[in-house]
Structure 1
Amino acid sequence: MELNGNKVESYSPSAGKKKGGEKKDLFHVIHKVPAGDSPYVRAKHLQLVEKDPDGAIVWFWKAINSGDRVDSALKDMAVVMKQQDRSEEAIEAIHSFRHLCSKQAQESLDNLLIDLYKKCNMVDEQIELLKQKLRMIYLGEAFNGKATKTARSHGRKFQVSVKQETARILGNLGWAYMQQNNYKAAEMVYRKAQSVQPDSNKACNLGLCLMKQDRLSEAHQVLLEVVLKKFPGSDDGKTIDRAKELLSEIEEMQPNMLPFEIDSSIEEEIMERLDLLLNEWTPFRSKRLPIFEEILRDQIAC
């Protein structure tokens, strides 16, 4: 096969064995490229082996136009465009060609669009798409009707539940509202996210949201819980450090506030009060989440 005028070693599932019958590593396995000589294969070779992103984009276009693995070609091309600071082009490409992709590819395309909107500071579009994904979960249409889906991160596969996906989307929606300075909407979404699946990062963002509304006592309580590692994900040192910085800011603005280095008896009292508060929030009960009855009301739609 030739790419850019250069001959490239042929790679196929049956290629190459060492003497004695021992199989050697295949080219396409080593470089994580598919076997063959199609436009999509050429694009992946340029992307991963020759490190030529511009050439890869050209061949991804050819793959899409020729109907060659369109789902993967469109997603991979958008990712390369994002890496090349061509995010607006990537958004336009997804909008123009996603109708050629399978139903199974639409969810991953939406996730990619959310990242691209964030990179382009298109907050309104990001919020609308996040709310659309919440509606799909509410209607039982997410994950193609399944309770879990398989996701990838750093080459590893893992299972994601509807509950985990809901909390993730709510966290992203809360942060998007924060970018619009819509702190009331952000607070409601963060509290709902914590009721579904609490974690330290969303708790820290909730604390910041409360600070922006000058509700320093409430913010202090939430951030104190983060520092005391009362939420899952508290092993993230960056989140703990951020919570400590915010607590210091609160104590500078309100000197009579108790410092976060408090004795255990006061800590237990605060924990008991917050436990009562958590118990009042709507719990996760089923696939059709009752929390969306509030999220999709006019306050969020505005």
Structure 2
Amino acid sequence: MTATHSTRMLILGSGPAGLSAAIYGARAGMAPIVVQGIQPGGQLTTTTDVENYPGFRDVIQGPWLMEEMQAQAEHVGAQMMWDHIVEVDLSQRPFRLIGDGGTVYTGDVLVIATGAQAKWLGLPSEEHLKGKGVSACATCDGFFYRGKKVAVIGGGNTAVEEALYMTNHSHDVTLIHRRDSLRAEKILQERLFAHPNIKILWNSAVDKFVAGGEPEGLVGIDVRNTVTGEVSRVDVEGGFVAIGHSPATELFKGHLELDGDGYIAVETGSTRTSVPGVFACGDVMDKVYRQAVTAAGTGCMAALDAERFLAEADFEATNRADVAA
């Protein structure tokens, strides 16, 4: 027999956005079910030092923060379920999600908090040095590189913005780009070219992130010239891969309106999607800020939007029943 789990509020994703929605939903009496997905806790479970989440004077660990968020959500009444959703039906309420083992989840409202993943270069040396000098978020980790030489890899808006941001912390920022021109918006390029603390390595691709020191960390990047093939080393202590993000929206193609970059489209100032009763929060709908605290904020918004939607739906249903009687 296939198991079915039903709830007033169904939440897909268990990062800061999904768990914040769960906390608010549970406190509103909606007994939310959180389907945790393939990476319970989201991207923060792969992050070590977190220094920019409000409320903690000392550096905290990302996995610990997510454990505490989950414990808080469970304490106020949310139910956690681990599953990998492979199919969705948003054509009618209650909405249906189906796990890879056939388990069915239904919800009168659905909150999508599946997040987005940073794109990486795919180098073994990159994997080895993640969290030890190599990062995919300058806004998150740049503070740890105050006064140090750093490099940013990429040529789009994200890379240029991160290079400019890093000048708040470093006097020596190198932008490494595999082509001879940038894809970033013209105004961003002008700001980049005008900044005295940024230099650009054109036609350059990362061959290897170089480890060294005690404790081990990034000490340099081997860069290959894409025209001549010559390899040279850039001495840096921080390397930020800024080649874009991939929102986890594959499940929802054809079911929800997505923007040109594949993020779930929401009404400005809200978390409402193109399907009434379906709400999106966190990095799956936010390609600008992508911070734990903003994800948590939109998770709160999604729960409040969902609560109002259900209250209005219940009121209309009661009125229809009274008229019919």
TM-score, with structure 2 as normaliser: 0.28
**Which of the pair has the greater relative contact order for Cα pairs under 8 Å at 6+ separation?**
2
Please state which structure has a larger fraction of its residues in strand.
2
Greater C-alpha Rg: 1
Please state which structure has a larger fraction of its residues in helix.
1
